[in-house]
Every structure is written in structure tokens, then in C-alpha cells.
């Protein structure tokens, strides 16, 4: 009798659950429906591990070289945050794969936990705001911003480490150095025009649904910035000063204990690279170029980031 019961249980675990559970559909703002997997049944949860794969309720959408990796690693210490380690690039490069694919790469979460991902290029992707809004208008968005001049140099430094033969930072900065005309088509410059990109997001999301994290304060006061992030996400303030120590060699804070580990953890060697020396005249011209955009960004966000 026991063997008969086990046979029926295993036979039914897949087919019965499929026949008995309708496929869920998520409706976009345009009225189109996308086919996505239904929530995991108790039987599938038993065989595949606890928790359910859900679409993210919060996304770190930018910016590149602003401190997004540090923020994600710090947040993953929180027991109520589950995040994808790699950048999914769903809303810019993989959108045609559909929401079912996107949901499937998410980690399993328990009731009360938040599913997150981070892809910094979303902030400058024109289609991303509408696409995220069609998934869920209630998605919480986090943007880590940094002095745009320092960010541009950091961006260039990263590219230089991969392509040592690229032109100098100075030559890439200007369309014409004699006239001082900045080349805004260069992505390292263009990303830092935060006000321009934010305007696109505000067409789909209210400003109160976007949290702006200071990349500078994430280094000088990580616990303070993480406190703001935890409040924004509706989480208990569990990540505090006791979780960090300052690594003088790297020049930024590190975790005393990383997620799932009892050992200290610092970001890898690709973070905190030494910047090349840049002509100070070029730096000043860039500061002059960004100033009006920075002022507008301060007004839009209600925060003065002190970049001047």
C-alpha cells in the first residue's frame, strides 16, 4: 500500500500540479498580456527548495561607476534581501526573452523578503522606464550617483584597463579642445548628465519612488546611506556601523562579514583602481560643463550632492 501511495504521489507531482494550476498572466500598461509561470506550488517548493521566484520589487538602475556593486553587496547582508549577483540586463539587452525568463533568473524568496537586481545601464536606456513600469508601476528604483567628473574618469580608467591603446582622456573629452566644445556623444561624458536621464524616468515614475544614493557618502558613511536605503525599502535597520571597516589600502569600506560567510569581504581588484593623472584644465572645463546640469539635478531630487 505504501509503494502504491508513493507511486501516485510522484506521478502526480508534475502532471497534476500542471493541470490544476492555471498559468498566470501579467498585464502590461498597454493591455498586452505576457505569459509567465504561476507561483510555485507547495509540491514544487518541496522538490526545488523553499521559497518562490518573483519579479523584483526593487531595482538598482544606475549609475555605472557610481558604487552600485558596493551597494548591492552591502544590501545582501540583510536577511530580508535576496538579489541576483550578475547584472541581468533584461530591460536593455534581453527584453525579448520575456518576463518568464526574467523571473526564472531571480533567487527564491520567502514571504516578506525583497527580490532585487542591479543593472546600472538601465538609467541611460531610453526604453527602460516604460518597460519597468509595464512590469510593475510600484517597482522601487535606486540610483547611486557620484560626482560626474570623477565618474567619467573612473569610467575611462576601467576602459583603459581593458584597452591600453585607447586615446587619452583629454582627447576623448573634446570635439575641439581649442574651442572647449565637450563631446557629449562619448558615453563617459553623457552618463553624467543625470538631469537629462532623470527626466525620462519621471515620465513613468513619481520622484518619491526613486531613491538617490550618494556614491561619496557610500564611502564616507556607508551605514548612514544603508540606513536610508533600508528605510526606503521598508526594511528593519539591520545593517549598521558594526558591519563595516575601512580598508586603507583600497580606500573604501569593506564588510566585516559577507553574506553567507564569517570572513571579511572587500570588493575585487577591479574596484578602486588608481586613476590616471588628468590635465587640471580639462577637469575644470568639465566641472564648468556639468555645473548647470548638476544644479538642475539638485532641484529635481531635492538633494545637494556637493559636487562643486
pTM score of the predicted model = 0.81
Total residue count of the chain as it appears in this document: 308
Q: Establish if 23 belongs to a structural domain.
A: no
Top-confidence residue, 220 or 37? 220
Q: What angle do CA 63, 156, 195 make, to 5 degrees?
A: 35
Q: Establish if 37 belongs to a structural domain.
A: no
Q: Give 73-95 pLDDT, tens digit per residue.
A: 999 999 999 999 999 999 999 99
Q: Establish if 70 belongs to a structural domain.
A: yes
Range of the domain at 79: 52-153+190-275
Checking if the pLDDT of 47 tops 50, the result is: no
Checking if the pLDDT of 293 tops 80, the result is: yes
Q: Establish if 43 belongs to a structural domain.
A: no
Q: Which residue numbers belong to the known binding site?
A: 65-69, 146, 154, 271-275
Q: Establish if 128 belongs to a structural domain.
A: yes
**Domain at 235, CATH number:** 3.40.50.300
| Total Cβ atoms within 10 A of residue 179 | 8
At how many degrees (to 10) do helices 148-162 and 280-301 cross? 120
Q: Establish if 35 belongs to a structural domain.
A: no
Checking if the pLDDT of 51 tops 70, the result is: yes
Supply the mean pLDDT for the chain: 85
| Contact in structure between 158 and 273 (CB atoms under 8 Å) | yes
What is the percent of the chain where pLDDT is above 90? 70
Catalytic residue among 64, 65, 118, 140: 65
pLDDT given at position 45:
39
Q: Identify any residues that bridge with 212 across adjacent strands, giving them in sequence order.
A: 143
Q: Is 296 a catalytic residue?
A: no
Checking if the pLDDT of 161 tops 80, the result is: yes
If we measure between CA atoms, which residue out of 34, 235, 231, 213 comes closest to residue 115? 235
Q: Give 269-288 pLDDT, tens digit per residue.
A: 555 568 888 999 999 999 99
Q: Establish if 24 belongs to a structural domain.
A: no
Q: Which residue numbers belong to the known binding site for 3'-phosphoadenylyl sulfate?
A: 65-69, 146, 154, 271-275
Instruction: Give the contacts of 14 (CB within 8 A, at least 6 positions apart).
Output: none
Checking if the pLDDT of 223 tops 60, the result is: yes
Q: Establish if 164 belongs to a structural domain.
A: no
Number of structural domains found in the chain:
1
Q: DSSP code of 38?
A: P
Confidence of residue 122 (pLDDT cuts 50, 70, 90): very high
Amino acid at each position: 500500500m505504501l509503494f502504491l501511495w508513493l507511486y501516485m504521489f510522484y506521478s502526480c507531482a508534475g502532471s497534476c500540479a500542471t493541470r490544476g494550476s492555471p498559468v498566470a498572466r501579467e498585464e502590461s500598461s498597454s493591455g498586452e498580456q505576457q505569459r509567465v509561470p504561476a507561483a510555485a506550488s507547495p509540491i514544487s517548493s518541496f522538490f526545488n527548495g523553499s521559497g518562490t521566484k518573483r519579479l523584483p520589487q526593487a531595482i538598482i538602475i544606475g549609475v555605472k561607476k557610481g558604487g552600485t556593486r558596493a551597494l548591492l553587496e552591502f544590501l545582501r547582508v540583510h536577511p530580508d534581501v535576496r538579489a541576483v549577483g550578475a547584472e541581468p540586463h533584461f530591460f536593455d539587452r534581453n527584453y525579448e526573452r520575456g518576463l518568464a525568463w526574467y523571473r526564472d533568473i531571480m533567487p527564491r524568496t520567502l514571504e516578506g523578503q525583497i527580490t532585487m537586481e542591479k543593472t546600472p545601464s538601465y538609467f541611460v536606456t531610453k526604453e527602460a522606464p516604460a518597460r519597468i513600469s509595464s512590469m510593475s508601476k510600484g517597482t522601487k528604483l535606486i540610483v547611486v550617483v557620484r560626482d560626474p567628473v570623477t565618474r567619467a574618469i573612473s569610467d575611462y580608467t576601467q576602459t583603459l584597463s581593458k584597452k591600453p591603446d585607447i586615446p587619452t582622456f583629454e582627447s576623448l573629452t573634446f570635439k575641439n579642445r581649442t574651442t572647449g566644445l565637450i563631446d557629449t556623444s562619448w558615453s563617459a561624458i553623457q552618463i553624467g548628465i543625470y538631469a537629462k536621464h532623470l527626466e525620462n524616468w519621471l515620465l513613468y515614475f513619481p520622484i518619491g519612488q526613486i531613491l538617490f544614493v550618494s556614491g561619496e557618502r557610500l564611502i564616507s558613511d556607508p551605514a548612514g546611506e544603508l540606513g536610508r536605503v533600508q528605510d526606503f525599502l521598508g526594511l528593519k535597520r539591520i545593517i549598521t556601523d558594526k558591519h563595516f571597516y575601512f580598508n586603507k589600502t583600497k580606500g573604501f569600506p569593506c564588510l566585516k562579514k559577507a553574506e553567507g560567510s564569517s570572513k571579511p569581504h572587500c570588493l575585487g581588484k577591479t574596484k578602486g583602481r588608481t586613476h590616471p593623472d588628468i590635465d587640471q584644465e580639462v577637469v575644470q572645463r568639465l566641472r564648468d560643463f556639468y555645473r548647470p546640469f548638476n544644479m538642475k539635478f539638485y532641484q529635481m531630487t531635492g538633494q545637494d550632492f556637493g559636487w562643486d
